[in-house]
Amino acid sequence: MNALTRRPLRGLYAITPARPPAGMSLVECVAGYLAGGAQVIQYRDKSADHDTRERTARELLAACRARRIPLIINDDVVLAARVGADGVHLGRHDPPYDEARRRLGPDALIGVSCYNELDRAEEAAARGADYVAFGSFFPSTTKPSAVPVAPDLLRRARARVDLPLVAIGGITPDNGTTLLEAGADMLAVIGGLITGGSPRQAARAYARLFGPRRGR
């Protein structure tokens, strides 16, 4: 693995919003996340055209490189390969893991959404995924119809899967500690980062949750 993808996956996993805060570009927003302590950035865009997404991905990659933080592309393996991103995050309806690994190579970070499904997480681990994500743990405005997941799922996943665990869904600085205590290594956040003051201040509020290593 390269120096970025070799680093332990722990901390704030910041996901880009559909719209940045008023008066701010997406790159400026992400720069705030990075300054506030985000340890991974995921570029998620379900609506822009291909050229816009590629241009934005390249700008975000440059910002992440300056901070030596990995950039993950949501869903789009082709875009990740084209811009040289550090990896891709795959959901249920995205290209299969094996295709993503062939396209991106052995150094790429590949994460898999597992929702509330431990069997899916075990399969991802067996295929060589770098992390698995579970959620939604709390009501989410980004995915209001997501299947609710109890924090205890993280404890059960920890016993069955030897991979970093990412928790997602309605996470705030107030409820995030519950998920860390249950076994999460990273907290993935979208909305909470644009409703808690400046992007930098919001990211810092989450980053502060990660003190000394919690028991594993």
Give residue-wise pLDDT tens across range 97-118.
Answer: 999 999 999 999 999 999 999 9
pLDDT at site 143: 77
Give the largest Cα separation in the chain, rounded: 45
Active site residue 143: yes
Residue 5 has pLDDT above 70, yes or no: no
Domain ranges of the chain: 11-207
- Average pLDDT, whole number, for the chain? 93
pTM of the model: 0.94
Which residue among 113, 136, 200, 204 is the active-site one? 113
Which residue among 7, 10, 44, 82 is the active-site one? 44
Active site residue 113: yes
Q: Which residue has the tokens 């789009």?
A: 76
Which residue among 143, 156, 158, 214 is the active-site one? 143
Rg, the chain, Cα only: 16
The pLDDT of 164-182, averaged and rounded, is 97
pLDDT at site 145: 76
- 141 pLDDT band, cuts 50/70/90, is confident
Residue 197 has pLDDT above 90, yes or no: no
Q: Which CATH topology does 11-207 take?
A: TIM Barrel (3.20.20)
The pLDDT of 82-94, averaged and rounded, is 96
What span, in angstroms and rounded, lies between the C-alpha atoms of 70 and 123? 24
pLDDT at site 128: 96
pLDDT at site 215: 38
Q: Which of 16-30, 89-103, 140-154 has the lowest mean pLDDT?
A: 140-154
Phi, psi torsion values for 92, nearest 5 degrees: -60, -35
pLDDT at site 211: 77
Active site residue 136: no
Question: What are the distances in angstroms from CA 33 to CA 81, 151, 193?
Answer: 24, 25, 8
